[in-house]
Structure 1
Amino acid sequence: MSRTPDNWLLKVTGLTKIYGEPNENTLALTGPQFGSNICPETESIVACADINFELYPGEVLGIVGESGSGKSTVVKMLYFDIEKTYGEALLKPYANAGVNTLDESNQKKRYIRNHLMGMVYQNPRDGLNFNFTSGGNIAEKLIMAGNYHVGGIRERASELLVKTEVPVLRMDDRPSNFSGGMQQRVQISKAIANNPPLLFLDEVTTGLDVSVQAKVLDLIRELQHELGIAMIVVSHDLSVIRMLTDRTMVMKNGRIVESGLTDQILQDPQHAYSQLLVSSLL
C-alpha cells in the first residue's frame, strides 16, 4: 500500500449529520467538551460533525467509539443509507473524484453502491433479503451491476461461498435457516461480489458468539489481504480494531477526538477518552 498525497481512494471533508432544526450555535454547543451531542438551545442532535479523513487503496481504517458516538452514522452517509446535512465525499474511481458523491442523484448513487462499494451490516437482515436463497442474494448484487449470465452468476456465487466458508450445497437455502455467523459470511460474499474497491463493515461481530467472532474476523482479514480491498471498520470493540485496521479514528459525542496509526493509539493514546478505551481493553 503506497501512500502519496494524491493517491487516496476516498476523501471526506466536513461530513456532518444533524437531526432536528439546528441554529448558528448548535455545533459550538455540542461535542466532547460538553459531554453531549444534543444542542441545549434547539434540542437538535448532532450525530456527527466535521468528519475529515482520507482513505488509501488497500488501507483498513477503523472508527471506534461508544454507542451514540456517531461512528455508524459516518459509514451510513458514505453508503447513502442516510442523507448528509453537510459535507463532501470524493471517490477516485467515480468521475475521477470530480464530483461530490453525496450530492448525486439516487440513480447515480445506486450505480456507485452496486459497482464501487460493499456494506456488511451488524444485523444480516439489513444486508440480506431473507426471502431469497444465499445464492440469490449474491445474484441480486451481481444483477444490479449489470451481470445477467445465469451460469456465470451461479459460478461466481459458488466461488464466493467457498471463499467465505459457506458450504456450496447450501447455496439454494435461505439465510433464515443459517446461524448468525453463517449469515454474516453470506452477507460478506454479497458485499464483495463485484470486487468493489471499498468495503464498509459496521459492527459485524456484535451479537455473535466469541468463537464465531474470531472466525469472521479471520475471514475478513484473509479477504482483505487476498483482494486488497480498502475497508472502513466501525466497532465499539478495540480488539476488533487492533486485529483488522492500519489507522484508527476515535469518536466521542459525534466528533473525532483522536486519529493516527492503530498501534500508536493503542500504545500511547493522547486523548483522555482514548486512554479510557485502551485501559478497558487491558
Structure 2
Amino acid sequence: MVEKDWLLKVTNLTKIYGEPGANTLLQTGPEFNSNICPETGSIVACADISFDLYPGEVLGIVGESGSGKSTVVKMLYLDIESSNGAALLKPYQNGLVNILDESNQKKRWIRNYLMGMVYQNPRDGLNFKFSSGGNIAEKLIMGGNYHVASIRTRAKDLLTKTEVPVQRMDDKPASFSGGMQQRVQISKAIANNPPLLFLDEVTTGLDVSVQARVLDLIRELQHDLGIAMIVVSHDLSVIRMLTDRTLVMKNGRIVERGLTDQILQDPQHPYTQLLVSSLL
C-alpha cells in the first residue's frame, strides 16, 4: 500500500474528560496502569492515537473495558468531540480538511454520505418508533434520496442482503430478536454505500450461535461491497475472524499494532500476550 492510497488518516487523536493539568498525559497510561490524572482527576479516555486506514481494509481495535477503543470510534463517527488531533477522510475535500473541526452541518453530511455505524446496543442506532424499513428510509432520506418507490426497493434489497425477512419490513425492531435488530442496524448503516463503516462491539450480548451468524454476515458484506471497516471489540476471536490489522489499546493508549495474524501468533507487549493467552 502506497501513501497516497489511504482512506482515513488519524493523527494524535485525544479525548480528555475534565480539566487536564500540565502533566496529565505524562502521568497516565499503561505504565501507570491508570487513565486518571493524579493531579487533577481528569480522565484520559484516549491519547495520541494515530493510524491510517486503507480502502477495503478491516482494522481491529481491541482492549478491555475502559481502554478507550469505543471513544476512538465515537470521535471518528463525530458522535463526540475530540480534545485534540486530526482525522482526514479522502472522499471528503480530497482528505485535505480535518473533519473533526468542521461545522455541525458539515459533520452531518459526512455521517450521512460517507460513514455508517453499528452500535453495540441497537437502540443507539435504530429508532424503535419506526419500522425496520422506516429506519433504512431515514438514512436514505438523510443521504438525499426522496423517491418513495426507490427507497422501498432499496430497503427490500438491504433487508434481503442482511437476511431479514422482507415481509417484516413494516414491523418495528422492538418485535425482533437481538440478532435480527443488529442485522437491521447493519442494513441502515450501509444504506448509502458509505466507504467507511464502524462496528462497536456488535456481537456483545448475543447468543454464541447468533454471534457467529452476524460475524459471517459482516464478513460477507465486506467481501461483496469492499467497505473499509473499523471493528471495536474486547473479544480477540471477533478480531481474528474479521480484521486484517489490529491496534491493541490499554489505559487510553496503543500498546501494540500490526497484522492481526502476527499479533495473535507472536504478541510482543505483555498486555497483548495476556489477551492472546486468554483466547487459547
Letter in 2 for 1:18: I
Tell me the distance in 1 between the aligned counterparts of 2:147 and 2:20.
50
The residue that corresponds to 1:202 in the other structure is 200
Q: Which amino acid aligns with 2:53?
A: L
Give the secondary structure class of the aligned counterpart of 1:12.
strand
Q: State the Cα deviation string for residues 122-164 of structure 1 (Å, max 9, x = none).
A: 0000000000000000000000011000000000000000000
The partner residue of 2:221 within 204, 219, 223 is 223
Return the alpha-carbon distance in structure 1 between the equivalents of residues 144 and 240 of structure 2. Answer: 37
Aligned twin of 1:108:
106
Q: 1:182 aligns with which of 180, 183, 191?
A: 180
Shift of 1:98: 1.1
Q: Which residue does the alignment assign to 1:25?
A: 23
- What is the SS of the residue equivalent to 1:184? helix
- In structure 1, C-alpha distance between the alignment counterparts of 2:144 and 2:233, rounded to whole Å: 32
Q: Distance in 2 between matches of 1:142 and 1:17?
A: 31
> How far 1:109 sits from its partner (Å)?
0.2
TM-score (norm 1): 0.99
d(CA) in 2 for partners of 1:252, 1:98: 30
Q: Could you say what secondary structure the match of 1:250 adopts?
A: strand
Task: State how far apart, in whole Å, the 2-side matches of 1:6 and 1:99 are.
Answer: 15
Query: Tell me, what secondary structure is at the counterpart of 1:156?
Result: helix
Distance 2:21 2:119 in 1: 33
SS in structure 2 at match of 1:196: coil
Matches of 1:62 and 1:137, distance apart in 2: 27
Partner of 1:133: 131
Cα RMSD, aligned residues only = 0.3
* 3-state SS of paired residue (1:84): coil
Deviation at 1:5, TM superposition (A): 1.3
State the Cα deviation string for residues 31-64 of structure 1 (Å, max 9, x = none): 0000000000000000000000000000000000
Cross-structure match for 1:281: 279
- Once the two structures are superposed, the pairs formed by residues 211-250 of structure 1 within 5 Å of their partners are 211-250=209-248
% identity of equivalent residues: 84
What 5-or-longer segments of structure 2 have no aligned partner? none
**1:27-176 maps to which residues of 2 (within 5 A)?**
27-176=25-174
Q: What's the CA shift string for 1:4-39, capped at 9, x where partnerless? A: 111100000000000000011000000000000000
**Residue 261 (structure 2) aligns with:** 263
Deviation of 1:103 (Å): 0.2
User: What is the aligned length?
Assistant: 280
Q: TM-score, normalised by structure 2?
A: 1.00
What SS does the aligned partner of 1:89 have? strand
- SS in structure 1 opposite 2:51? strand
Aligned AA for 1:226?
D
AA matched with 1:243: M
Match of 1:82, SS state, is coil
The runs of at least 4 aligned residues of structure 1 exceeding 4 Å deviation read: none
DSSP-derived class of the 2:78 partner: coil
Q: Which secondary structure does the structure 2 equivalent of 1:200 belong to?
A: strand
Secondary structure at 2:5 match in 1: coil
